[in-house]
Structure 1
């Protein structure tokens, strides 16, 4: 009887552990921004998978935040470029969002998390693409440099990751910072590191990560000590 009771207790502990892990999975109740964003990315991923290739190519070209689009349709490209994962696994990004975006949302809420994410996406895009536009105008770069496909959520992800690193303490912050910097380097080296678009993307990732670390993280920490507007009364 004692052995059976111990076995039942172990099974109960495993059951409770499984349920406790589920609370870290993005869901519409505790992390609506993260969950909703993943739903949008799943939808666009299914479009890329099953829609007509000519249509999807056109959609990606219109959404790209390359220099050409930023000059002709800046708002549309900035808003739509972060809803696609061309050639990338949705499941991998679901895990990334669970690790980097959801924890920020659980602590700071939808509004601040969305602001950090999209501020990083927009600012890193402009910081990297506006110089490309200037160099094209000065005939330093060919016009073709303004037409590469620049799409994805990585700038927003690295911004939230940088903010989370700032919010850590002591050795954990140093380890997380090293891991983030290594991740930036691995992505760059995994592509064609000598190509111009890879270099621009590397700079965008590095800027987004440090924008989150040096700007968004301190802002979030300061916001803990400030009450929300109209929160009282």
Structure 2
């Protein structure tokens, strides 16, 4: 084995000694900046605010039914429409004879038609709530307001008739529409808003309901709207939990 002169360092047989002078390193090129993400177009952002079958199937399906029944009520024979209203009414007589049928049928009509204030609230409130907690849970909130507020206003009427404080004619009245369910949905949605928006919405809407009650034009319906709003507010612990669960599921599938 060969060794370097004057040292004991062995060299490989027949191999020249390796140089220790490093080779020059080319200077690194400056980093190329990543291209900036294109700004979102206003049209695309606006489309994301509109309800779609993907994220609001319950609202759009229900809205389609309400459009059909409202157009029918507008253009069909008035006597036929009045008969259907009477058969769909959640008055005491119908609640005793066919409660499930009239509770469903009464929610298929819009009192005042497509231009009523509750029709507009339906299109604003239900899609927003459904995006946050899902369609089945939105339906549960709506039905809670619709059913419980109806029973809370009609059962006292039946009891008052039984004890003689109201005439028998009070058992038969027109009581139909989506307003109780919409009011409950608004009350539930308020619990998911930031505090300043939550109390602004409740103050404005609650003030309108109290003003309607003070005018005493339809006290049963007015009390029902206030009760529906309170029922929706009572669902805050559940809708907040449902919203958190929905976000966790979205992250897990994201």
TM range (shorter): 0.7 to 0.9
Task: Between 124-133 and 47-56, report the one with greater CA deviation.
Answer: 47-56
Displacement after TM superposition at 1:223 (Å): 2.9
| Separation in 2, partners of 1:26, 1:121 | 23
Task: For CA contacts below 8 A with separation 6 or more, give which structure has more relative contact order.
Answer: 1
2:70 paired residue number: 45
| Separation in 2, partners of 1:68, 1:176 | 36
Instruction: Give me the TM-score of the superposition, normalised by structure 2.
Output: 0.75
Higher Cα Rg: structure 1 or 2? 2
Q: 1:97 to 1:24 in 2, by over 3 A?
A: farther
| Separation in 1, partners of 2:167, 2:98 | 20
Which of 215, 219, 222 is matched with 2:238 structurally? 219
**Structure 1: gaps (5+ residues):** 1-12
Instruction: Give me the TM-score of the superposition, normalised by structure 1.
Output: 0.82
Q: What secondary structure does 2:150 align onto?
A: helix
**Aligned 8 A contact 2:118 2:179 in 1:** no
| Separation in 2, partners of 1:24, 1:95 | 16
**Structure 2: gaps (5+ residues):** 1-38, 247-251
Q: What RMSD, in angstroms, separates the aligned Cα atoms of the two structures?
A: 2.4
Displacement after TM superposition at 1:188 (Å): 4.2
Aligned residues: 211
**Aligned 8 A contact 1:83 1:152 in 2:** yes
**Aligned 8 A contact 1:41 1:90 in 2:** no
| Separation in 2, partners of 1:30, 1:225 | 17
The reply to whether residue 129 of structure 1 matches residue 154 of structure 2 is: yes
| Separation in 1, partners of 2:123, 2:188 | 15
| Separation in 2, partners of 1:49, 1:64 | 18
Displacement after TM superposition at 1:109 (Å): 0.8
**Aligned 8 A contact 1:60 1:151 in 2:** yes
**Aligned 8 A contact 1:82 1:152 in 2:** yes
| Separation in 2, partners of 1:203, 1:19 | 42
Task: Give a deviation string over 1:177-216, Cα, whole Å, max 9, x none.
Answer: 1022023235446xxx335xx11111110010011012x2
